[in-house]
Chains A and B, each alone.
Chain A
Amino acid sequence: MRRIDYKLIEDLVPDGSTVLDLACGDGDLLSELIAHKHVRGSGVEIDQAAVEKCIGRGLSVFHGDLDAGLADFDDQSHDVVILSLSLQQLRRPRMIVREMVRVGRLAIVSFPNFAHWVPRSQLLLRGRMPVSRDLPYQWWDTPNIHLCTIQDFRALCREEGLCIEQEQYLRSVEKPPPARLLAPNLLARIAIFVVTRC
């Protein structure tokens, strides 16, 4: 089953553009973008096994640690830089957002919304760190070290002087997004932001 968040990201990427996918994993999203949007795509990935999978699929991939920034990539060298559901795992998320708009004209960031009512209520009613389908880890073993909310991300963009071109909300990576979502910060599980330097 095709992931809806990938489909939404795909719709945001211009046909034939140059794309850099940060934390590209096995290269699933990149492969879809190359197949459907004819992009000139490459990825950045830290895990050896994932890099090997990407290379085995004929993808261009750079083995590197995003926490060290994107020093190996030139200013405005890509049309689009994508960070899909990995922002919350980075040590320096603010730095990477800044790097994304330096390297790319368009930055697409998706992340789990920590203000969704499920984690909110777990914290409020049970007084425990939330454990859910989207965030299945215990507090002591989670790779998600920098969780944020839709409001938080908007605030970061304001502080960085970035323009939010688009926001999209999902209630699941498997279900089509609702046509309209009132109170997204409460009801969206996943948010996709398109940001640029103003």
Chain B
Amino acid sequence: MTEKKHAARKEIGDVAMGYDDDAGNAGVVRTRYVTFDQPGQELALEGGGTLAPFTLAYETYGTLSERKDNAVLVTHALSGDAHVAGLHSAGDKRPGWWDMMIGPGKGLDTDKYFVICANVIGGCSGSTGPATENPATGKPYGTDFPMITIRDMVNAQMLLLDHLGIGKLLAAVGGSMGGMQVLELAISHPDRTHLCVPLATAARQPTMAIAFNEVGRQAIMADPNWHGGHYYGGKSPAKGLSVARMVGHITYLSDEAMEEKFGRRLQDIHDYTFTFSADFEVESYLRHQGLSFTNRFDANTLLYITRALDYFDLTRQHGTLVKAFADVKARFLVMGFSSDWLHPPYQLKEIVSALRATHKHVSYYEVESHYGHDAFLLEREKMEGIIAAFLASGAKSYTPLAPPVAPAG
């Protein structure tokens, strides 16, 4: 691995902007859409009812091998989408959200692996969600959209794998909510992935995260433009959504990262204005992040997805965490980040201990970083070698999914 300039400049925030020499080297990609509307493709939801038809937006990078043994599914976090790497056009200044990790020669090397990323159901970036037209009414679902869970998100992506003709993934990789999907996939579809890499996540949504999510939801629902979730065609609850995003952003940073990036510095002024305008850089940053989020994200999706996060609890579902993982077959590389206060390392170690209790193959790595929860989107050098090594060694022990045995007689 060569030392690259990317150590020099780091951006904290939503997306690691193109600071690398090899930014966007996964090339120009196009988002694709697949609609599941055939009998048997209804999505039975954990909370009851079905979702049909439904569409998934997805992107792929690299080439699927003839034996279909090199597919890597990347699952996204709360505000992510299918555009995980590369560019949408030649002049695109904004590569995908995990571009630092995906491309030729990167941690998930697209010269070797076929990388897939899909927008989750309930999302607002091409997959079916609350802003989608409800076939029953001809109007957007709004809050008539059914409640969805992490398991529902995973089940939908399994249909995408079927569509792509992939029986068993080489690996499933994801951080935060993406990590929860990775855990769920390993448990409810144990034959569909050989390796699992959950990052900066937890086996159950921690109380503090539920609390912050509730603040975000209340901000949206208190916005007079929310109208019980049926605001499409009119003004959107942008103010509420932007406050929700500001709260979220605080949880993605850390005390140290905020001191370093902003300190108490003032924004373009020499002295306090003695008003409520954004005097401090940190205020200005949060306002900007909140506002720009409203241009690309739907408030109802934030409600639905934070609820899916809050309901995620493998212990509640399976009795104990050890039981939850008892039948998993995948090998695990679990990664925690030292300054992550949304999912502190102990939450990752809980996963490791539970896997180890029934002698699963599991490794744990803790990245030393002061970037907080966002570290998994930023700490390229500290992650990519280990992830690449895990995939390379795992590829050697990959065995394809046994074809279904024809019923006797």
Footprint of B on A, CB under 8 Å? Answer: 18, 40, 42, 48, 51-64, 72-74, 77
Cβ–Cβ contact A60 & B362, under 8 A: yes
**Neighbouring A residues of B333 by C-beta, 8 Å:** 55
B10 at the interface (CB under 8 A from A): no
Q: How far is the CA of A197 from the CA of B192 in the complex (A)?
A: 43
Segment at the A interface, from B128-136, B162-170, B282-290, B393-401: B393-401
How far does the alpha carbon of A36 sit from the alpha carbon of B30 in the complex, in Å? 50
B208 within 8 A of A: no
CB within 8 Å of A: which B258-289 residues: none
Chain A: which residue is nearest B396 at the CB level?
Answer: A58
Among B352, B359, B386, B389, point to the contact of A72 (Cβ < 8 A). B352
> Using Cβ atoms and an 8 Å threshold, which residues of chain A touch B365?
48, 51, 55, 63
Contacts known (A74-B353, A74-B357); A62 close to B363, Cβ less than 8 A: yes
Contact B393 A55 (CB under 8 A): yes
- A55→B353 contact, CB < 8 A: no
**14 CB < 8 A contacts A-B:** A18-B359, A51-B363, A51-B365, A52-B389, A53-B389, A55-B333, A55-B386, A55-B390, A56-B389, A56-B393, A57-B393, A58-B396, A61-B364, A63-B365
B361 within 8 A of A: yes
Measured CA separation A58–B359 after assembly (Å): 15
Q: Which residues of A contact B352 (CB under 8 A)?
A: 62, 72
Residues of B near any A CB (own CB < 8 A): 333, 349, 352-353, 356-357, 359, 361-366, 382, 385-386, 389-390, 392-394, 396-397
Q: How far is the CA of A40 from the CA of B358 in the complex (A)?
A: 12
CB pair B353–A51 under 8 Å, yes or no, is no
Query: How far is A51 from B334 in the complex, measured between Cα atoms in Å?
Result: 13
- Report whether A61 and B385 are in contact in the complex, using a CB–CB cutoff of 8 Å: no
**Cα of A151 to Cα of B393 in the assembled complex, Å:** 43
Closest to B336 in A: A63
Majority secondary structure, B binding face: helix
Complex CA distance for A51 and B394, rounded to whole angstroms: 15
Q: How far is the CA of A58 from the CA of B392 in the complex (A)?
A: 9
Most A CB contacts (10 A, CB to CB) among B389, B390, B392, B396 go to B389
When A55-B333, A55-B386, A60-B362 are in contact, do A72 and B353 touch as well, CB less than 8 Å? Answer: yes
Could you say which residues of chain B place their CB within 8 Å of the CB of A60? Answer: 361-363
A58 to chain B, nearest CB (A): 4
CB distance from B338 to the nearest CB of A (A): 11
User: Which of the listed residues B349, B386, B390, B392 has the most CB atoms from chain A within 10 Å of its own CB?
Assistant: B386
| Residues in A neighbouring B366, C-beta threshold 8 A | 63-64
Q: Which of A48, A56, A60, A72: most chain B CB closer than 10 A?
A: A60
Minimum Cβ distance to chain B for residue A89 (Å): 20
Beyond known contacts A55-B333, A62-B352: 13 more, CB 8 A cutoff: A48-B386, A51-B386, A52-B385, A52-B389, A53-B389, A54-B363, A55-B365, A55-B390, A57-B393, A58-B393, A58-B394, A74-B357, A77-B357
Q: Which residue of A lies closest to B364 (CB)?
A: A62
- Which chain A residues lie closer than 8 Å to B392 at the CB level? 56
Could you say which residues of chain B place their CB within 8 Å of the CB of A61? 363-364
Residues of A within 8 A of B353 (CB): 72-74
Q: Give the shortest distance, in Å, between A20 (CB) and chain B (any CB).
A: 10
Q: How far is the CB of B369 from chain A (nearest CB, A)?
A: 12
List chain B residues, Cβ under 8 A from A63.
Answer: 363-366
Which 10 pairs show the lowest CB-CB distances between chains A and B? A56-B389, A58-B393, A63-B365, A55-B389, A62-B364, A61-B363, A55-B390, A52-B386, A52-B385, A52-B389
CA distance A177 to B385 in the complex (A): 39
A61-B334 Cα distance, complex, nearest whole Å = 10
From A62, which residue of chain B is reached at the shortest CB distance? B364
- Assembled-state Cα–Cα distance A72/B382 (Å): 23
Inter-chain contacts of B389 with A (CB < 8 A): 52-53, 55-56
Could you tell me if B363 and A55 are in contact, using CB atoms closer than 8 angstroms?
Answer: yes
Q: Which residue of B lies closest to A51 (CB)?
A: B365
Q: Are B359 and A40 in contact (CB under 8 A)?
A: yes
**Bound: A63/B393 CA distance, A:** 18
Docked CA distance A18–B356 (Å): 11
Chain A residues, Cβ within 8 Å of B361: 60
Q: How far is the CA of A72 from the CA of B366 in the complex (A)?
A: 13
User: How many angstroms from the CA of A57 to the CA of B394 in the assembled complex?
Assistant: 9
> In the bound complex, what is the Cα–Cα distance between A73 and B392 (angstroms)?
28
CB-CB under 8 A from B390, the residues of chain A are 55-56
- Separation of A152 and B137 alpha carbons in the complex (Å): 82
Most buried by A among B356, B357, B397: B356
A42–B331 alpha-carbon span in the complex (Å): 13
Name the contact of B397 in the complex, choosing from A42, A58, A62 (C-beta under 8 A): A58
Q: How far is the CA of A73 from the CA of B356 in the complex (A)?
A: 9
Cβ contacts under 8 Å, B364 to chain A: 61-64
